[in-house]
Amino acid sequence: MEDREVGVEPTRRGLQCSAVGLILCVMLGAWSAQALEMSVGKIPFLEAVNGSTVMLPCTYISCIGIKNLYFSWQFNDNGTMQTVCESVIPSADVLVEDVSIYRERVEFVGKNNGGTNISILLWNITFEDGGYYTCFGRNPKEKGKNHSAVFHLIVVDEVRVVDNTLATIIAAAVGVAIALIMGFMLLKNFTLFVLSKLEEKNKECLVTSSGIDNTDNGVSGSKADSKATPKKK
């Protein structure tokens, strides 16, 4: 019996250690997955007029800090990824100045000194500049894991004016419907009020007429009946 108990105890300890190890792996995996994030904002697209200057936004967020963070902007040219610019950020408190730019009319405007902005400007854009741009980042603290976010630039001749005719018609129809409902409710309440007043008047007339009939018929008749019939001589 003692040998069996001694054999069972190490097995239980082994299972407990395995469970703890599995939990730690899951926690570390989730922590690592959220260690770095690249973001191009809540609206990942922009419609701009040909010849204008636009900014392609991108920021990075790191919960474990950065060290020699590599970032780049890439343009999808009919399926071929072309590097627009790239650089390495040694640490979060270092100002990024040495940025390699490989495309004309591109300017790096991100600042890393106390911030996380790695945005770029495109000057005097043309229709060829329209397409998908990828903001890419790789933090060595995450053992080379890659992160990216995509921004869509749409170049047009002129900004399209949104036709609000349908929306105006719908809003007017809704307003008319609400006005009709309110008018119907007011008319209904007024009608009920008038009917209640008429009903009260009818009740008063009935009570009054009933009192008059009793006085003329019942009361006077009872007095006449109460008198003794005169005897004949």
Higher confidence at residue 134 or residue 229?
134
* Tokens (6 digits) for 90: 């040694």
- The residue ranges of every structural domain in the chain are 35-156, 164-206
- Fold classified for 35-156: Immunoglobulin-like (2.60.40)
Any idea which residue has 């603290």 for tokens? 141
The answer on pLDDT for 6 being more than 50 is no
DSSP 160-199: PPP--HHHHHHHHHHHHHHHHHHHHHHHHHHHHHHHHHHH
What is the structure's pLDDT at 200?
79
Per DSSP bridges, beta strands 59-62 and 36-39 are: antiparallel
Q: How many helices (H) and strands (E) does the chain have?
A: 3, 11
In 3D space, the residue among 116, 122, 118 whose CA is nearest the CA of residue 61 turns out to be 116
pLDDT confidence tier of residue 203, bands split at 50, 70 and 90: confident
Looking at mean pLDDT, say which of 56-65, 74-83, 180-189 comes out highest: 74-83
Q: What is the mean pLDDT of residues 144-173?
A: 85
What are 192-202's pLDDT values in tens digits? 888 888 887 77
